[in-house]
Chains A and B, each alone.
Chain A
Amino acid sequence: MISFVEKEDIALIRAAKNGSSEAFTQIVRNYKDFIFHVAMGILQDPRDAEDVVQESFVKAYLSLHQLQDERAFPSWMAMIATRLALDLYKKNQRGRSVSLHEGIFLPPAAADETRRSDLRLSLWQALAHLKPEHRAILILREVQGFNYQEISLILDIPIGTVRSRLHTAREQLRRALGEEKGGNAHEL
């Protein structure tokens, strides 16, 4: 969870705005996992997620001077990454039509926590049933901890839509998770 900025990061962002490449390199190190997880949650593919990470940092590097408030850096980065991920998803959808579970990356799990990893597997598969917009809003809220105001800015939608979309996304995930748990139990 990285929805707030540390004091050191604010100093780094200011230094990067003043042209320090070293400061931006440190920002990349601090925020790469955060951006990767946002992209991964939406796209569910590590190669596509990495592409989004690269493009997000390039875009941020070229337009950092436009960022007025350094404290808004995480939501600004999340906005760039989310929009790029949603665009890439649409672009990929135009070029291919795969079945739901085909080609979906499955996250690695430790061998000693079988039940928990089964649950994670079910959740990951259930997530694939959701629309990318619903996955995006769930990742931004549940994983990255952004509040409604920030999500509204990131996704460029009114707060009322954030509220209703989150409700729909949670309910759809719950139902899909129920189906996946049933399906995986039969397979096991």
Chain B
Amino acid sequence: MHMSCKEIEECLSSYLDGEILPEGKARVEQHVARCPACSSLLQEWQSQAMLLQEAISSIPSPAEMESHVLQKLENIDLMRQKGPILHVLAVSSLCMGLLSCIWVLTPSSLLLWSVAHVSMRLLGGLSRLVVRLVAGQGWMILSIVLLAVLLAGLSLAGIRQILRGKFLMEAGAK
């Protein structure tokens, strides 16, 4: 069975790439041997393939490209090394922050209990005790609050570092 030029043209690309069954290959070869138009098309595709390979392969890659790639990989290694240290720092800061919050809350509740107690006493006329209690516990509460703020700030800074590291890794991966 003879194939038309249109049918052959559809198989020509696969023939050129060796991605055709032996039966189809024989048909294409028979047709090309007696059809100057298809033979010429095949030659044109072959020569443009060679030219394309030549043109692309002859383009030199930028001189600094390799060092830029290696620098990026080095940065990733650095982030990987720093990662666990930052993680430990953030987790420990967070734990300390939580402990300090509990620490702050416990005296506060004690104070509240004291206030309630004093109020009851106040009703009984012992107003001096209120002044003593507030003056005595106030400084302690203030120092604990300051410590809690400091530790919370530290833990936030640690978390920020970790997130920044993750962001850099992801940005690098994209």
Contacts and interface: CB of A to CB of B under 8 A. Distances in A.
Interface in A59-93: 59, 61-63
Contact of A40 (B13, B56, B72): B56
Given A53-B69, A163-B19, A174-B45, A123 B55 contact: yes
> Top 3 closest A-B pairs, CB basis?
A167-B13, A36-B61, A120-B55
Given A24-B73, A138-B52, A148-B17, A32 B59 contact: no
14 contacts: A32-B65, A37-B56, A37-B57, A40-B56, A46-B62, A54-B68, A57-B72, A141-B17, A143-B53, A166-B17, A167-B12, A170-B49, A173-B48, A174-B41
A12 interface: no
A28 B173 contact: no
Interface residues of B, number: 37
B23 interface: no
A133 interface: no
Most A CB within 10 A of own CB, among B9, B12, B19, B61? B61
A143 B57 contact: yes
Given A62-B169, A124-B55, A170-B13, 11 more contacts: A28-B66, A32-B61, A46-B62, A54-B68, A58-B76, A62-B172, A123-B52, A138-B52, A143-B53, A147-B19, A166-B13
Given A61-B76, A119-B51, A54 B69 contact: yes
A107 interface: yes
Nearest to B51: A123
Contacts of A28: 66, 69-70, 73
A179 interface: no
Nearest to A41: B56
Q: Mostly helix, strand, loop or mixed at chain B's interface?
A: helix
Interface string A32-55: 110011001100001000100111
Contacts of A173: 48, 52
Size class of the contact patch on chain A? 35 or more
B14 interface: yes
B44 A167 contact: no
A54 B171 CA distance: 12
Contacts of B62: 36, 46, 50
B155 to A, nearest CB: 28
A116 B55 CA distance: 10
Contact of A174 (B17, B48, B53, B73): B48
A184 interface: no
Contact of A142 (B49, B58, B69): B49
Nearest to B71: A54
A177 interface: yes
Contacts of B7: none
Contacts of B44: 174
Given A46-B62, A124-B55, A143-B53, A61 B17 contact: no
Nearest to B12: A167
Contacts of B12: 167
A187 to B, nearest CB: 19
A28 B54 CA distance: 23
B56 A177 contact: no
